[in-house]
Structure 1
């Protein structure tokens, strides 16, 4: 069966064939939502093809991490959601005979290359907006199902409790994994303009066809599955509506003025529990409120977007909505519990899910405290960039998320990329950069900025045009910003 992305099919098939030749595979993946879903997709695809696999996660795939992988007894290593940017180091170990790498990534590749390298950027597809790491892993998984079937390796075509022919077929060819690929893409901020685009859309279509995804226009607010209605509106930050956003009393009054039964058994209902007519009533009133309070038309359009619903997950849970699912995953591996996030992705709906929810509560508190810190202390504005140094007050694994969420707050501009520093250890500082898709359209490429500016001060970095990261020696932050400011200035003219 043809894969979802024709441009990648030949390369994906070659990678899958090499994996099927392996006696066992070491799978290494990144720790964010995209990395966790990438790893989970590849893990399940390998297991279904009866290929023994050990899965590990790395916060950063640096030279030391690659050397540690090379020192294992594995002859075949599959990298997901990273590896392209580290090909120079990986190639050295490959040339030395340490292992054969298979890479399914979407980040900007380094100068070196390898035979089994699946990356949309090599085929004219934008890895920052059209296909995530999870998407690349999904393409590989689809090819792996075909190759394993042809070679007679596949043994697990069962339905894991499902009884329909659709579910059986979807599991047999790994199309059921499209749901995780969409969670990864949404978590990687690829739903720009309110929906997934490009190659991602083809994966969405396969997920819908497989019965694991539902899509449709809906209110584009975070928390539609789990937040009580007043909190859903109060905490909505993407579109600020005066009198409702960040206003507990205002959000309550807005809802109480509607002629609807918005409570059940004395408790506020959730958006996911409203009927379509009730949703239309609330949404229409919200738009009228936005218009009457002077919210720009372009912002009002942002109140509605495409919802990605995991149809096999229970209504009212974090796992039902792709955005909430991705946030739940971010709350695991970024706090050294990648095993918990992987467990959730692999279907553990008891122990792992409860642990993830506990971590999520802690994650939300840390994000809130981080945003408050930035808002209270402000950022430093250079001519072309803005930045802040959190030191050890914000974890280096979440400082990029905090920076992105703070953009647009008082004193934090949307018209400049933001750079955030956080202490990694006594010798190194983590730098996270976030831009906007509008800035990217004007020429911003944070991947090259982070790569060049970090190398200029003895560090290393890369990523995407809209979001990137680097590690620099402690004490070099000011010089790094000087380089970054100059580079961004050149890009934006």
Structure 2
């Protein structure tokens, strides 16, 4: 018995029937495995699903995978599970999953489905919704979680995690979450676990002191402030506002409304004087998503910072830490996550230096670099995105990053490919999911993802062939 009365009471009405069907099968499972991806969207997907399953009294085990492949599915089949609940992956691997009859698959995903069908499958793409911008894996899990409610239960508090997953999966469009994601935001606001309001759209508003906040804010570069700590200090010292407390710079979250208006007004004026475009200036302000139940000044208070914290756990083989935080555990798990975040930030800072050292090659329509074994395969995509706009890296050209894949000693290790674009390129027709799939298939690999970010695994030695195929595909999409 689900808590919502009919489809229109569901968080995503188009998916209500699929959600109810999946929930019914999960309740009937005798021995259940929950399998999920390792990024922020995958961790929040698992956190939502695991919490909802526990509330429904459904015992389950949890595993995480960097990539869902035949070897992983074989392990699940050999473990005698009655059902396997796949979150934030599974749709793209349906052709593999359906080769095994040892368990019943239940899938809550948002990636492009393979050419196969199963009975218990929730995916926005199956109902005409955009899985790249309207609903994340966490959002798909949230739909199932709402359907798992009993008459006296309420899983709407899990909307906060769904928003963290969507933000972490880069589904913010022109400053806000849209489509089905917006419906989940509304449920979270109604439940009192979320606040969605217009504010400075800069990473670190909860935790970074103001000079660091502005100097590190690279999404909208402002000459004399961005990348210039001393310039940011001079800018702030010249403002008539209470920006310090006991001699220490405040964080943005600690400023009152008047002080925030003063800083934003001055930022806009500086941007205009230094030639920043009107569209970029407008992007300074966006919708921020605040988790009301988390401590002010904590990484968990802001959806973007929360997602970054999660990315720093499973990417370093500590998925259990991220899951514990998603499930509401604090203390030791949160301390461990913060330690991993510090390590993650150092790795990323070093990663940009690696890109500079190895150099970026420019083709007609894409650019690329090969990090070899100098960067973990789990972070090379993040580094690629960070490098766009650096010296020698064009911000308006899709970038392809290669790193050696850790295959645990296999004789023929593959190569990890990560691809990043920009929202403006997507508006022009870029779809890196298709590019990754086509280019990988051309060299005997496998790829997919989203329009603005995608990935692949290809055989070692076929990197330049992959680049050539990707270059041709991007040229066809952008008509140039």
Is residue 136 from structure 1 mapped to residue 127 from structure 2 by the alignment?
A: no
Match of 2:279 in 1: 298
Is residue 29 from structure 1 mapped to residue 48 from structure 2 by the alignment?
A: no
1:408 alignment partner, one of 386, 389, 395: 389
> Separation in 1 of the partners of 2:373 and 2:124?
36
Is residue 120 from structure 1 mapped to residue 101 from structure 2 by the alignment?
A: no
> 1:442-488 CA distances to partner (integer Å, 9 max, x unpaired)?
22221122112112212111111221111111111111111111111
2:198 alignment partner, one of 217, 230, 237: 217
Match of 2:399 in 1: 418
CA RMSD of aligned residues (A): 1.1
Match of 1:283 in 2: 264
Match of 2:466 in 1: 480
Is residue 427 from structure 1 mapped to residue 408 from structure 2 by the alignment?
A: no
Q: Structure 1 residue 242: deviation in Å?
A: 0.5
Alignment of 1:3-152 (within 5 A): 3-93=10-100, 97-145=101-149, 148-149=150-151
Q: TM-score normalized by structure 2?
A: 0.96
Match of 2:409 in 1: none
Task: Give the conservation status (yes or no) of the 8 Å contact 2:448–2:456.
Answer: yes
> Separation in 2 of the partners of 1:417 and 1:66?
32
Match of 2:425 in 1: 439
> 1:58-117 CA distances to partner (integer Å, 9 max, x unpaired)?
010011111111111211100000000000000111xxx210000000001101111111
Alignment of 1:116-195 (within 5 A): 116-145=120-149, 148-149=150-151, 172-195=153-176
2:375 alignment partner, one of 380, 394, 402: 394
- SS of 1:117 mapped into structure 2: strand
> 1:229-262 CA distances to partner (integer Å, 9 max, x unpaired)?
1000010010100000110110011111112232
> Separation in 1 of the partners of 2:361 and 2:173?
27
Runs (4+) of structure 1 exceeding 3 A deviation are: 375-378
> Separation in 2 of the partners of 1:120 and 1:42?
17
- SS of 1:384 mapped into structure 2: coil
**Number of positions where the alignment pairs a residue of Structure 1 with one of Structure 2:** 467
Mind listing any 5+ residue stretches in structure 2 that lack a counterpart?
407-411
Is residue 361 from structure 1 mapped to residue 368 from structure 2 by the alignment?
A: no
Q: Structure 1 residue 41: deviation in Å?
A: 0.2
Q: TM-score normalized by structure 1?
A: 0.93
> Separation in 2 of the partners of 1:284 and 1:375?
35
- SS of 2:92 mapped into structure 1: coil
Mind listing any 5+ residue stretches in structure 1 that lack a counterpart?
150-156, 158-171
> Separation in 2 of the partners of 1:449 and 1:67?
28
Moved more, 455-464 or 347-356: 455-464
